[in-house]
Structure 1
Amino acid sequence: MTSQAPLAAPARGNTLPALLIAGLAAFLLGLAVMAAIFRFSDWGAPAPAPAQPQPVAPATAALPTSTDVATLAAREQALAARLDALDARLRATDSDARTAGSYAGRAEAMMLISAARRAIERGQALGFVGPELRARFGAAEPQAVATVLRAAGEPVTLEDLRFALDQIAPRLSTAAPGGGWLDAVRRELGSLVIIRKESAPSPHPRERLQRARRLLAQGHVEASLAEINRLPGAQGAESWMAAASRYVETRRALDTLEAAAIQGRAAPGEAAPTA
């Protein structure tokens, strides 16, 4: 055993409060640091809403940077030329349609006149052709229409004229009875001596009658009528000459209506009623 006394143990009562104070200070410092971090950082900020896709505007064709006033004027002229060409085509189409309609109307009028001509030549009634003639040509050629309609009421055919001429031919070469003896002597002397050109037709009654028959057979009613009118017995053929005159007038009226149809002077026909 030594003579020295043992060392005294360190006092613990003084260090514990210091440790507590130091721990509390560190804790408070940590809280302050955490508060500062939460305040000045985005840790606590809510997550941003997802961005909605914005509609994309259609891209507009931008004029090239080199486009100038001269280019725009050239484009305007080209567009105007196209519009003019289109307008010309439309006018041409409208003109063609009008022309086609006019030709169709003329063709219908010609067919109507042909039907009337055939009916009269056969001595038949006109039927519905009569009112159509009046409706289409009554304003343009009223006299010709009246002549045709009147002829249809009293038809005279070429065959009727030939038959009637054969019936009256025997008395056409001689004058009608009742004339004086002086007229008879003059006619007799005139038939004995005849002076004419070589190329001129013979004025002898028999030859004149033959020419009249031949012309009538060929359909030349007007020339045949002129020959009959020069015969000595023409006074006894008044009925035949009147019928031949009506025949000639009717054909002239039909020719007049035909010319009016060709010239487009006929009124348009009424449209057929729709069911």
Structure 2
Amino acid sequence: MMDAGYPADEPAGSPARRSGRTRAMLGLAIGSFLVGAAAIYLVDHRQQLQDGTLFTLDEPAAQPSKPAVAMPATAPRPVVALLPPEPIETRLADLEQRLARLDLRAEAAAGNAARAEGLLIAFAARRALDRGAPLGYLADQLRLRFADGHPNAVGTVIAAAADPVTLDQLIARLDGLHTRLAGAPDDEGVWTWIRREAGHLFVIRREDTPSPAAEQRLQRARLFLESGRIDSAMAEVQLLPNAGTAADWLGDARRFSAAQKALDLLETAAILDARTLRNGVGQPVEQLSPAAEPPLGEPSAAQ
């Protein structure tokens, strides 16, 4: 019979007893694990334990410092002294001088161009006369550019082109007149013929004097024509006994020679004419030619 003041004993297989036993076993296992881990750690670090450095804090290793990079020294900037600005009057004067020089250059270029055009017109007119071709528009250009200073020369060239005679024609016609010019005159009498023939038997002259024989004169006249010396050819023909039979030839030769001289004058005027030459629109060319010699005390056109 049990006492009423004491609790009755719990049975051996109650849940409370089993829970306490389980906690005890779990605590024992954890403690054993910790003791084993500590023993292993001490065995691995026994040298440090003997040296007394096991529980000292490791200081961080000093990092090597990088060498300082020297910055390149910059050169000092030069000090530029600022000049005071030029007065506006000086600038205007300088601009006016430049404009004046440009105007002179423009006038010189225009004058040289007009002279070159005039020279080309004269050359073209000469080629037309040499071929016996009409002048065409060249006649108007000759009047426009040269008639003011050289009207006679322009008229001579235009008249020669209206009835052209070429150098080849003059040579061919002279060859055709050879027999008549070298023969005896038509009105020559017997006594005159005898004297002329006797004079040809013995001729006394200097070595450098041309032969007065008709054949020799005709040969020289032809050579003069071939070389363009028209006046010398006419002089030889005029000394022939029958020069009267070559009157038409002499007239055409004079016209041809006059036209060539007129063209020479116009070509010279295109280069050297002073203030009488005109450009393509009829305006006078005031710029002096670079090839012309200026009067004393005046600068040349090239300066």
> Of residues 142, 165, 185 in structure 1, which corresponds to 2:174?
165
Cα distance in structure 2, aligned partners of 1:194 and 1:255:
41
1:45-60 pair list within 5 angstroms: none
Partner of 1:181: 190
Q: 1:82 offset after TM fit, Å?
A: 4.1
- The alpha-carbon distance between structure 1 residues 192 and 80, as it changes in their structure 2 partners (threshold 3 A), is farther
Cα distance in structure 2, aligned partners of 1:86 and 1:230:
71
Percent same amino acid at aligned positions?
40
1:22-41 pair list within 5 angstroms: none
Are 1:143 and 2:145 an aligned pair? no
AA at the equivalent of 1:146: G
Cα distance in structure 1, aligned partners of 2:184 and 2:95:
79
Cα distance in structure 1, aligned partners of 2:96 and 2:164:
55
Alpha-carbon displacement from aligned partner over 1:6-56 (angstroms, at most 9, x marks no partner): xxxxxxxxxxxxxxxxxxxxxxxxxxxxxxxxxxxxxxxxxxxxxxxxxxx
> Of residues 203, 207, 214 in structure 1, which corresponds to 2:212?
203
Cα distance in structure 2, aligned partners of 1:125 and 1:217:
23
Q: 1:230 offset after TM fit, Å?
A: 1.2
Q: 1:239 offset after TM fit, Å?
A: 1.0
SS of residue in 1 equivalent to 2:185: coil
Cα distance in structure 2, aligned partners of 1:200 and 1:81:
76
TM-score by length of 2: 0.61
AA at the equivalent of 1:93: L
Partner of 1:266: 277
Alpha-carbon displacement from aligned partner over 1:54-75 (angstroms, at most 9, x marks no partner): xxxxxxxxxxxxxxxxx99x96
Q: 1:81 offset after TM fit, Å?
A: 4.5
Q: Which runs of 5+ in 1 are unaligned?
A: 1-70
More helix by share: 1
Alpha-carbon displacement from aligned partner over 1:121-179 (angstroms, at most 9, x marks no partner): 10111111111211221221111111111100110001101110111101111232113
Structure 1 contact 176–236 (Cα < 8 Å) conserved: no
Q: Give me the CA root mean square deviation.
A: 2.2
Cα distance in structure 1, aligned partners of 2:193 and 2:93:
87
The number of residue pairs the alignment matches comes to 198
Partner of 1:234: 243
Cα distance in structure 2, aligned partners of 1:214 and 1:151:
23
Cα distance in structure 1, aligned partners of 2:195 and 2:155:
44
Are 1:243 and 2:252 an aligned pair? yes
1:58-207 pair list within 5 angstroms: 76=87, 80-207=89-216
Cα distance in structure 2, aligned partners of 1:202 and 1:125:
40
- The alpha-carbon distance between structure 1 residues 148 and 75, as it changes in their structure 2 partners (threshold 3 A), is closer
Q: 1:268 offset after TM fit, Å?
A: 1.8
Q: Which runs of 5+ in 2 are unaligned?
A: 1-82, 283-303
SS of residue in 2 equivalent to 1:172: helix
Cα distance in structure 1, aligned partners of 2:150 and 2:195:
48
Cα distance in structure 2, aligned partners of 1:266 and 1:191:
56
Cα distance in structure 1, aligned partners of 2:86 and 2:98:
21
Partner of 1:36: none
Alpha-carbon displacement from aligned partner over 1:94-128 (angstroms, at most 9, x marks no partner): 11100100001011111111111111110111111
Cα distance in structure 2, aligned partners of 1:94 and 1:175:
71
